[in-house]
Structures are given as structure tokens and as C-alpha cells.
Amino acid sequence: MIKFSDVSKTFTIGKRQVHAVQDVSLEVSEGDIFGIIGFSGAGKSTLLRLVNQLERPTKGSVFIRDIDISKLSAKQLRKQRSQIGMIFQNFNLLTSRNVAGNIAYPLKVAGYNKHEIKERVTELLEFVGLSDKAKDYPEQLSGGQKQRVGIARALASSPEILICDEATSALDPETTQDILRLLKKVNRELGVTILLITHEMHVIQSICNKVAVMESGRVIESGPVFDVFTNPKHTTTRRFIQSVQKDLPSDTILQEWQRNNGGKLYRVIFKGSSTVDPLLSTITKKYNVDFNIIYGSVQELQEQLFGNMIISLIGDEGNKQKVLTELSNLVEVREVDINER
């Protein structure tokens, strides 16, 4: 649905060049809730702005439904933009208009008649749960309510794509969850493809099915959220994941363990409903090896379970290797780098 093909965006400020986006290739499929995560300055906003042509790529192309949007005429681009709704961190509501007026605004600009506008606004207010606030002004609303108005306004022209620019970053945790639930409803009930940027991993964990991690303008890792969470390849991705999922014991526990026992630690990752305890018992017994569970957790992600266990093995080196080989055929096993956090 949205395809970035080898896209770069370089800003030139005097003699200095800023490579905001570098060689990005990504594909967002219809129906995705696709999250782009990165620290400040990673290039997320620039990448979003390339989708509605608020920025033009220095290199490469952005396609929407196989159409290279940089090749559109001004008229075609206006039509294309009406297919893309956008919501913002600071809501960007018109303070001089009430809630209904804010939602009606894009419809007025698009030339709908009064009756059509009234009907659509009523429908949208109901969808976002603000039917009783139609006559209130933005200053009378909470942050969460303002973002609901923002979502209703973005949906007014029935777009195929909704772009969310840090849409929950200004909200408290509970309101964030309400807005994320609403975005999920937009995706499921209206079939709108969502592309969002965030610096908060819990947003990705809560609603996205796919994720791309950006650093210094580049996409350093991407894929289905379950795969990236259960097998992160990059240190930055691991740092984001560790902000929402504790997958290693604290330094104190690790140091104490090293003082008392030493030796290698292994991370055993199991997905779905497989349980690892009987597996470990059977295989270690077979090779006369003992095991210690140092740490363990089971989490739910994308309606699937995955577990993470940190173990040590005690016994003959050769036999320990046999245990690891046999275990690796059934679940994922990696040696823990204690400095990986």
C-alpha cells in the first residue's frame, strides 16, 4: 500500500548537510498498523512527511498503491492527500471552532453540502465517543478528548491511510491506552491502514503488527512485531524492548550469580504454547547435566505467548554442548552477553 523504495532525504543548511533519511526501503501492506520507532532525531518525522509529500525525497521514490507520488500533478496530489488522514502530538485543532466545527472543516473545504456535513459529523462523533461534546470548544476538552476530535477530523474524508505523528506522546498512560484502542478500532472496523511514529515501545507493543526501528536516518531492523520482539538483532532494538519487557535479571543479581557460580548463561526463548521445563529436564537428564533457572518470564504479544528463560548448565563440557545442540533444535537458545542491556 505504501512503499519506500531506497528513499533518502538530505537537508542542506548553509554548507552543512543533514542526512535525515538514508536508503530506506520499507513496505506497509493494506490493513497494517505499522510502527516506526526511534530516538529523537532518528528521521521518523521526515519519513512520515515524505508520505504526503510535505517533503520530497532527495533520492528514491515513495509509492502509494503503486503510484510514484513524486510524479503526481498538483491536482492529482490534492486528491491523493485526501486519501491520507493525519493526527498530531499537539492535536492541531482550530481553537475558534467547536468540536463539530473542527470535524466539519475538511468537509467544507472539500465542498460537501450542509446536510452531508451534518450527517457525517454526527456519525464521526459517535464513532469516537464524543456525541455529547459537539458544541464544546477545544479549550474545554481533556487531551484525550482533543485527540479523539483529531481522529474524527482525520477520518472525515474517509481516508485509506491514517498517519499518526507521536499521537499519544502528550497523554497520560491511561488516556494513551484509550486512544490506542480507538486507533485499533479505526483499523479493524474501517479498514484504515495506519502508519505511526513513536519513541515509546509500549505503543508498538500495544497495537502494531509490524515495526521498523530507525537510527541516524536508517532503518536498522524491521519485521512483524512478534519476530522483532522475540529475536531482536540490533542493540538499539534490544534497548527499546527492554523498556517494556524485562528479559534479564538486574545487574545486582547477575553480579551475585557470577561471584557465586560463574560460567556461561544461556537465553532460551520459546514461542506459542510450548513449555520449556519438561524439555529442559528431559534433555539435561539424558546427558547427565544439571540446570539452574536464573530468571524467567512469559509474556503475551500479538495474541501469542512467548517465554524467555535464563539458565546455566552444570556438568561435563562435552555433554553441555550436546544439551545445547539438542535444545536448539526445538527452541531458540543464545548465549547471554551480560553487557547486552
Q: Which is nearer to ligand ATP, 13 or 74 (CB)?
A: 13
Report the candidate in 32, 154, 1, 35 with the shortest Cα–Cα distance to residue 86: 154
Report the candidate in 271, 281, 258 with the shortest Cα–Cα distance to residue 338: 258
Q: How far is the CB of 54 from ligand ATP (least distance, A)?
A: 10
Q: How far is the CB of 36 from ligand ATP (least distance, A)?
A: 9
Backbone angle region of 150, left / alpha / beta, with phi > 0 → left and psi within -120 to 50 → alpha: alpha
- Cα of first residue to Cα of last residue in the chain, in angstroms, is 36
Q: Which is nearer to ligand ATP, 20 or 333 (CB)?
A: 20
Q: How far is CA 152 from CA 129, 156, 226, 289, in A?
A: 10, 6, 30, 61
The contact set with ligand ATP (CB under 6 A) reads 11, 13, 18, 20, 38, 40-46, 199
Q: How far is the CB of 67 from ligand ATP (least distance, A)?
A: 24
Strand partners, 293: 311
Q: Which is nearer to ligand ATP, 12 or 113 (CB)?
A: 12
Concatenate the DSSP letters of all residues of 325-338 into one string.
HHHHTTSEEEE--G
Q: How far is the CB of 46 from ligand ATP (least distance, A)?
A: 3
- CB-count exposure of residue 266 (10 Å: 0-12, 13-18, 19+): buried
Q: Which is nearer to ligand ATP, 218 or 271 (CB)?
A: 218
Q: How far is the CB of 217 from ligand ATP (least distance, A)?
A: 7
- Give the whole-angstrom CA distance, residue 171 versus residue 177: 9
Q: Which is nearer to ligand ATP, 121 or 195 (CB)?
A: 195
